[in-house]
Amino acid sequence: MAHLKTGSLERNIALTKLGFGAGTKIVAHSIANLFRGEISRTQSDRDFYKRQAEILRDELGQLKGSVMKAGQMLSLYGQYFLPEEAVTVLSQLQDDTPAVHWKVVGPVLERALGRARLAELDVDEHPLAAASLGQAHRARRKRDGLELVVKIQYPGVADAIESDIKTLSRLIAMTRMAPKGLDLNPIFAELREMLHREVDYAAERNFTETFARKLADDPRFVVPRVLTEYSSDQVLTTTYEHGYHVKDAKVQALSLERRSALGKAFVDVFVSELFRWNMVQTDPHFGNYRIRPEEDGNDRIVLLDFGATRVFGRGFVDNYASIVRGGVQRDREQIIKGGCGIGLMSADFPRNVLEAFCDMCEMITEPFAGDDPGRVPAHLLNERGEYKWYESDLPMRAGQLAAKNAFSKYFRVPPREIVFLHRRLSGVFIMLATLRAELNARPLLMDVL
């Protein structure tokens, strides 16, 4: 069980010590670099940033709460401006963290529900799962045996968001991991807004119920039912929905046809979320999904945790659709039109910069190219012309091209909508690769476009 540093004084002391230590190490590192050659200095910088990020990761992991969650999100933004070593380390701040003792979260549950209502439940004090902002416990309603999951927010995390964000921004400045002159205020403003959303259990309850309504007639999906009588601003209770992790042997042993059908469902729900509903669950963590194999072969996907759901404006979605449509159809004017509409590009950029952007968009949409001749490496298509997601090195190729373009003076840190949308898109790709799915996703995409 982890110790939760909930008091503002305790958290500030821990972060101040971290910042002071970082400042001292920076001075020592800068002095040492004066006596190093250019090549060894570069390696020294890489090692230094890695050590700094490891210290930051370890301390944030102990603190839990909003500052740890912000560290996770920073790794997403950081891929656009932080040293690669720092991004790699910060991305290890995952939500499968040590749980907090029941004596800390139990009182939160009792205050939220009241003793009489809580007495209706048998709650397992050993957590089912633990994350940075709260943890989940199995429960059973005594009168009918209904199996439940009770998600409890850690005490003090909502109140600590403002101070945690300020402290984290100072730490990033002190560790000198961000480029000099880069304005990080918009990024930390987005992190602040995101954290306030994730501790808003009323909003999460509404999103859960909305997804349940939209998918009620689709037998491929299961969304837990919210029990409002056992929920509050710090507690969210839903039905327990059984299923297996996607990497479980029972899922991996399914036939190619069934695994590909599951992959098709994952793509289908994602494109529906973005292009039809303009509302995307942006956290692709595998813990947010369960696979329920069925005897009749019509397997189901259990969708969990809608706290990271984002609503996208119609203008953004239309422009993004233009980029995607242009990428799939190799219509570069469509790509540029959408890129300018979102703010990724400007029409007065040099033509070679615009062409490089189009190259990237056409590469990223490769799995949706269908039978477009020459678009997809031959070894990534099966005999039916379906894309073999698990064999694709597309993320590596796209990452290399993005890194090359990032050195351009015309490069811009993407709008916040792009960062979180691509987080989910990457999750879809990884999910299909893990399922070892083979399918042509073009009809699914073009249907919504």
Question: pTM of the prediction?
Answer: 0.80
Report the DSSP beta bridge partners of residue 311.
279
Q: Mean pLDDT per segment of 10 residues, for the chain of length 449 residues? A: 52 46 37 37 60 65 62 65 67 65 95 97 94 91 98 89 79 67 74 85 96 97 98 97 96 97 97 96 88 95 93 95 95 94 88 89 90 85 93 82 63 70 87 95 93
At 90, give phi and psi (nearest 5°): -65, -30
Q: Is 130 exposed, middle or buried (0-12, 13-18, 19+ CB in 10 A)?
A: buried
What local confidence, expressed as pLDDT, does residue 94 receive?
Answer: 56
What local confidence, expressed as pLDDT, does residue 401 receive?
Answer: 75
What local confidence, expressed as pLDDT, does residue 61 receive?
Answer: 56
> In sequence order, what DSSP letters do the residues of 324-345 get, joined into one string?
HHHHHHT-HHHHHHHHHHHTS-
The candidate with the shortest Cα–Cα distance to 15, out of 25, 26, 5, is 5
Parse the chain into domains and list their residue ranges: 8-97+158-198, 243-449
d(CA 381, CA 442): 13
The candidate with the shortest Cα–Cα distance to 173, out of 188, 161, 162, is 188
Give me 342's structure tokens.
Answer: 């979102």
d(CA 46, CA 48): 5
The candidate with the shortest Cα–Cα distance to 324, out of 344, 341, 339, 343, is 339
Measured CA to CA in angstroms, residue 218 lies from 115, 257, 261 at distances of: 38, 19, 14
Measured CA to CA in angstroms, residue 174 lies from 15, 24, 43 at distances of: 12, 10, 20
Give, to the nearest 10 degrees, the angle between helix 314-329 and helix 332-342.
160
